Chains A and B, each alone.
Chain A
Amino acid sequence: SQQGEEDPQALSIQEGENATMNCSYKTSINNLQWYRQNSGRGLVHLILIRSNEREKHSGRLRVTLDTSKKSSSLLITASRAADTASYFCATASLEYGNKLVFGAGTILRVKS
């Protein structure tokens, strides 16, 4: 399985701190995406990073990709209580028909 695995499973931080979540995968990928899910809701796309990219930014979000280590990280800077959610990485590879495969997610809790 090429399923991404997020680490840690759960993370609790204080408002204003940075949050880092990691994702590891097993096969070569075309791209890796990060999604956010508020409790009981659908997922919302955050960032897509292609296999030939190493870093992308979007507002307070920074994503890195290391294809040699088959890993990615999502950094949320200056976290807010509203960032409390589950965060999922999803990978796409030709070996898997380019279909997105989601990891189990990291539950982030930001305490105010």
Chain B
Amino acid sequence: DGGITQSPKYLFRKEGQNVTLSCEQNLNHDAMYWYRQDPGQGLRLIYYSQIVNDFQKGDIAEGYSVSREKKESFPLTVTSAQKNPTAFYLCASSMRGGGSGANVLTFGAGSRLTVL
């Protein structure tokens, strides 16, 4: 079945540690996105990539890093510089770039990160 796979589903991190969240898609979509969701709030865009080897900062990129070495994969690293990383992280993809509004987003099931 085509879709987006995020792992791990739950992750615990000690303060000062970097962690990497995985996002893999087999939809042959060009564009991929990372969003952060906090309780009672909408989704906020962290990073997005419209094509392999290229990515742009979203609204809240500080303390995060990404890579896009393969079309299928868009991992997100939450670094120790992110002061409040506890949140629900959602990866999404769309058929082509040109901004996420140009297309419908397909989301993964999410990864919940908790800082101990």
Contact = CB atoms under 8 A, between A and B. Distances in A.
Contacts, number: 68
Interface stretch (A55-63, A68-76, A77-85, A96-104): A96-104
Contacts of B106: 45
Given A42-B108, A44-B107, A100 B42 contact: no
Contacts of B92: 42-43
A-B pairs, top 3 by smallest CB distance, nearest first, are A92-B101, A98-B99, A42-B107
A53 to B, nearest CB: 15
A72 to B, nearest CB: 14
Interface of B: 4, 6, 35, 40-45, 48, 58, 88, 90, 92, 98-102, 104-110, 112
A101 B58 CA distance: 11
Contacts of B105: 33, 35, 43, 45, 100
A12 B19 CA distance: 38
Interface in A90-112: 90-93, 97-105
Contact of A100 (B4, B40, B90, B100): B100
Contact of A99 (B6, B99, B108): B99
